[in-house]
Structures are given as C-alpha cells and as structure tokens.
Amino acid sequence: MPISVVVSDFIDAMVPDPFLNQNSAINAARKRVPAPYLKYQVTALVCQATGGPCQYIGRTMKNSHAHLNITEAEWDRMVVIFKEVLAKHKVPGSEQQELLEIVGSTNGDIVMSGAAQ
C-alpha cells in the first residue's frame, strides 16, 4: 500500500471532521490551504521519515501548526482518525506501530503549550 494512498485518505478524513473544525483556526486554515498541497507535503514527510527516497522540503511542524492552537483533545481525535485509516487499508501491525511512532514524535511541536496561551 503506497504511503500516498493512506495519506490521501487521512487528509480526506481530517479536513471535514466536525470535531476538529470546532477550532476556528483549524477551520479557517482548511478553507485556505488546498487538500492536495497537504497530501503532497505529508506524504513527503512520512516517506522521508520511513527511509526515503523522498525529501521533505516543507516547514517545520512547529512553524506550520503554531497558529492553529491545537489542543491535546484535538490531537487525540487526529490519532483516532489515523488509526481508522490504517485499519481500513489493513496496514500490517508493525508498520502501523512505526507510523504511529513517527506521528507521535511530533506531538510536542504540534500541540500548543500552556506557555503559548
């Protein structure tokens, strides 16, 4: 299963999600940023993180998410959506684990810190 297919479904599930869009900053950004752009960037990031050969040339996770004020609850919702997409595509357990670890490693840069409030 190509990474791009899983990422594409993941973005398609994230963008219209009612819980995430209760956050007005997320809702505004998804209307402004084209989904195909996000699919391209996230695919390159995951491809690079899993060994290449792609190169991610987008912004850092901190720079691209700071203005979204993402909470721990919104993060948890994202993880639920991600797991649903992995299960739907029957991604093997060991690869699911690897992908969840890659995503998990970005939590500190993506979820807003108390100090930033």
Binding site for ligand HEM (CB under 6 A): 20, 26, 29-30, 33, 38, 41-42, 45, 58-59, 64-65, 68, 70, 74-75, 78, 103, 106, 110
Query: Quick check: 78 and 19 in contact, CB under 8 A?
Result: no
Nearest partner of 24 among 62, 58, 69, 66, judged by Cα: 69
The nearest distance, CB 93 to ligand HEM, in angstroms, is 20
The values of phi and psi at residue 68, to 5°, are -90, -10
The nearest distance, CB 113 to ligand HEM, in angstroms, is 15
Residue 61 or 89 with smaller CB distance to ligand HEM: 61
Residue 6 or 68 with smaller CB distance to ligand HEM: 68
The nearest distance, CB 88 to ligand HEM, in angstroms, is 18
Residue 71 or 92 with smaller CB distance to ligand HEM: 71
Q: Which residue is nearest to ligand HEM (CB)?
A: 58
DSSP code of residue 1: -
Taking CA atoms, 69 is separated from 27, 31, 58, 111, in Å, by 11, 16, 20, 7
The Cα 36–Cα 41 span in angstroms is 9
The nearest distance, CB 75 to ligand HEM, in angstroms, is 5
The Cα 41–Cα 48 span in angstroms is 11
